[in-house]
């Protein structure tokens, strides 16, 4: 039950951050749920962990996601537990 609550709160927080760039109060939660199913790749290197997300088909959603990834890049870098390598997010072509 606690894991489900954490997942819900994480999804809600992600939707709110994405909506800052989408400006779509009616559909931002549905768009966020769809984005959780896009493909991507994870590359583990000695210096960093790189997460490359596939580009969404909608240009509007792709632009909003790109802006959100830029926000993540300028904030404090995330990392895995017990691993000092930063996680870098980017969008593929």
- Domain boundaries in the chain? 2-91
Cα 72 from Cα 88, distance rounded (Å): 8
Cα 5 from Cα 43, distance rounded (Å): 29
What angle, rounded to 10 degrees, do the helices at 2-22 and 28-35 form? 110
* Per-residue pLDDT reduced to its tens digit, 58-83: 999 999 999 988 888 887 777 777 88
Which of the four pLDDT bands, split at 50, 70 and 90, describes residue 52? very high
Mean pLDDT, the chain, rounded, equals 87
What's this model's pTM, rounded to 2 decimal places?
Answer: 0.78
């Amino acid at each position: 039950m606690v894991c489900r609550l954490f997942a819900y709160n994480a999804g809600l927080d992600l939707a709110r951050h994405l909506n800052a760039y989408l400006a779509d109060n009616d559909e931002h939660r549905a768009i966020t749920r769809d984005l959780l199913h896009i493909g991507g790749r994870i590359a583990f290197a000695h210096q960093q962990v790189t997460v490359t997300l596939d580009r969404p088909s909608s240009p509007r959603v792709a632009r909003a996601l790109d802006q959100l990834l830029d926000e993540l890049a300028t904030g404090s870098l995330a990392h895995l537990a017990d691993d000092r390598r930063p996680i870098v997010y980017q969008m593929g072509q």
